[in-house]
Structure 1
Amino acid sequence: DDSAFVRKSTLEETLRLLRERPDAVVVAGSTDWGVEVNIRSRRADCVVAIDRLPELRELRVESDAIEIGAALTLTEIERRLDGEVPLLAELFPQFASRLIRNGATLGGNLGTGSPIGDSPPVLLALEASLVLADADGEREVPLAEYFTGYRQSVRRPGELIRAVRIPLPLSPVAAFHKIAKRRFDDISSVAVAFALDIEDGIVRKARIGLGGVAATPIRALATEEALEGKPWAAETVDAAARVLRAEGTPMSDHRASADYRSAMLGQSLLKLYARNTEAVPS
């Protein structure tokens, strides 16, 4: 019925096609679109597969950043990094199942723009940026500026996520807390990622990414401000946890109530403090 499934051999050819067909559905592991087709009977006039494009399957560790190709599967990233990014190492086992991680990609998880994707909070805490490519060239956008609304982003028609860039060095205190009805193989009710620099007992830098508490993944900017420059002490953390509970605009749905989501935000910071008090140099 005039529908097409297309797999080009180079990124350049793919981007030219997407310029001609900006309405095309782009798939890598198809872990999201496959559900739409199978469960909701959705169809597309044009589907473009990018999972084998070599330009989207590179992983480079440079002096100032780690660049991860958008079409590398989570399993491939996990094996190739081998714990080099501890926050990602915490994310991977909690991201769906191994079967899904064998196909799912960071580019796909970010491209769908879902507010409950597990990777955006982690990448926000890591201060990641996205390399976006179209037929005219590339641009780099901080992930904190990427999401513009529910499943919406600054990505233009015909534009792809080519890579994710994580700046180095990494913050030494990091944690990913996923709150869900089941610990594994479930969708998050709330996801919280922390990345902190603590020197001489003082929080020098704090980056906190949140999922499931707003129309988009967000940074907990007010909580970061409440921590930075303060002693890593119970009084500071208690006060910051109260701020964290008020971040975002959580809603009630079949996964969790708004009050529960807010409570879990604050509890996550208290948990981080309890687990890291003795390990932090003073």
Structure 2
Amino acid sequence: AARRDRPAPAPVHTDLTSVTPTGTTARFRRPTSLDEAVRILRDEPGATVVAGSTDHGVLVNIRGDRPENVLAVDRIPELRGITWADDHVEIGAAQTLTEIERSLSRTVPLLGQLLPQFASRLIRNSATLGGNLGTGSPIGDTPPALLALEASLVLVSADGEREVPLEDYFTGYRQSVRRADELIAAIRIPTPTSGPAPLTAFHKIAKRRFDDISSVAVGYAVTVTDGVVVKARIGLGGVAATPLRAYATEELLEGNPWTAETVAEAAAVLRAEGTPMSDHRASSAYRTAMLGTSLERFFVETQESQEAVR
């Protein structure tokens, strides 16, 4: 009980080398500064980068993967923390999902809707946004919501940093514009400066309600003024080789009244977004159907919430 009242121990620099059962040499390092981490990646771009290790740990445990060069970035101060600027909030890539949930659930409601559906509390205590985005998985839960929020990523290397819109980050199945010598340092989410707050929702379609991998995931941020959609952002996961924005659906919604008729027309367009495949989680036809159903459900939810306010 006394330990809970004391701050966490300061990061300790770690550099361990061991010989694996196959006779190869394996190295594990946990640097305590960003400069050291990017210098290692510059010189050794093949290093396996881990933060919470909730994804990589499964490969080690189930598949028996034994990487020979591991770089842990979870205790680097420059990759942690949440800071507010005039027009955005910046989330450190190594900030755990539980920490983000506690800090931003009210101020960024879409994250408050997403994070309770992300795996289990045990996983959220270790998992990070940087790790979820860094794997490039098309069924990761955070990309659809972050796409709807128009997030961008700060990529850092020994040569400096650059900012990339998340919609331009993914280039193919588990591929991205991030170079082997770069780390995801932070995620920036724009904050509205004026006008009404957008209507938001995160829909996760899976076989189990909690602690499961998505078959389809959809993030919504739709701004309605005087009954008309003035801005629509929709992020999709599980329906293509990469997470993606539903540009055609967004375009149809914007400038039209937020009505059941408009939503029905937009739902037909949304069903055609992406190139869903069939696998053991869901068929392509089911994924297509769920896209349209999701938008219709979102509309009903917004109507019910507005009625509750009245």
TM-score interval (norm. to shorter): over 0.9
User: Tell me, what secondary structure is at the counterpart of 2:98?
Assistant: helix
CA separation of 1:193/1:82 partners in 2, compared to 1, >3 Å: closer, same or farther? closer
| Moved beyond 4 Å, runs of 4+ | none
Q: Tell me the equivalent position of 1:112.
A: 135
CA deviation after TM superposition for structure 1 residue 172, in Å: 2.1
Q: Tell me the equivalent position of 1:96.
A: 119
The 5 Å alignment of 1:122-271 reads 122-169=145-192, 171-271=197-297
Alignment of 1:276 onto 2:302: yes
| Greater relative contact order, per chain length (Cα 8 Å cut-off, separation 6+) | 1
* Equivalent-residue separation in structure 2 for 1:33 and 1:177 (angstroms): 26
Q: Tell me the equivalent position of 1:8.
A: 31
Q: Tell me the equivalent position of 1:73.
A: 96
In structure 2, runs of 5+ residues without a counterpart are 1-23
111-120 or 80-89: which moved more? Answer: 80-89
Q: Is the 8 A contact 2:104 2:111 kept in 1?
A: no
The 5 Å alignment of 1:33-52 reads 33-52=56-75
* Equivalent-residue separation in structure 1 for 2:245 and 2:105 (angstroms): 27
Q: TM-score, normalised by structure 1?
A: 0.98
Q: Tell me the equivalent position of 2:4.
A: none
* Equivalent-residue separation in structure 1 for 2:299 and 2:103 (angstroms): 30
User: Tell me, what secondary structure is at the counterpart of 2:25?
Assistant: coil
CA deviation after TM superposition for structure 1 residue 223, in Å: 0.4
Query: After superposition, what is the alpha-carbon deviation per residue over 1:207-232, rounded to whole angstroms, capped at 9, x for unaligned?
Result: 00000000000000010011000000
* Equivalent-residue separation in structure 2 for 1:186 and 1:167 (angstroms): 29
CA deviation after TM superposition for structure 1 residue 82, in Å: 4.1
User: Tell me, what secondary structure is at the counterpart of 2:281?
Assistant: coil
CA deviation after TM superposition for structure 1 residue 44, in Å: 1.1
- For 1:62, give the aligned amino acid: A
User: How many residue pairs were aligned?
Assistant: 281
* Equivalent-residue separation in structure 2 for 1:256 and 1:28 (angstroms): 30
Q: Is the 8 A contact 2:105 2:111 kept in 1?
A: no
User: Tell me, what secondary structure is at the counterpart of 1:3?
Assistant: strand
Name the Cα RMSD after superposition: 1.2
Q: TM-score, normalised by structure 2?
A: 0.89
- For 1:27, give the aligned amino acid: V
In structure 1, runs of 5+ residues without a counterpart are none
CA deviation after TM superposition for structure 1 residue 63, in Å: 1.7
User: Tell me, what secondary structure is at the counterpart of 1:63?
Assistant: coil
Identity of aligned residues (%): 68
- For 1:53, give the aligned amino acid: I
* Equivalent-residue separation in structure 2 for 1:47 and 1:175 (angstroms): 37
User: Tell me, what secondary structure is at the counterpart of 1:29?
Assistant: coil
* Equivalent-residue separation in structure 2 for 1:59 and 1:194 (angstroms): 23
* Equivalent-residue separation in structure 2 for 1:154 and 1:262 (angstroms): 28
Q: Tell me the equivalent position of 1:59.
A: 82
Query: After superposition, what is the alpha-carbon deviation per residue over 1:4-44, rounded to whole angstroms, capped at 9, x for unaligned?
Result: 00011100011001111100000000001101111001111
* Equivalent-residue separation in structure 2 for 1:154 and 1:81 (angstroms): 28
* Equivalent-residue separation in structure 1 for 2:252 and 2:198 (angstroms): 19
Query: After superposition, what is the alpha-carbon deviation per residue over 1:224-257, rounded to whole angstroms, capped at 9, x for unaligned?
Result: 0110000001110000000001110001110001
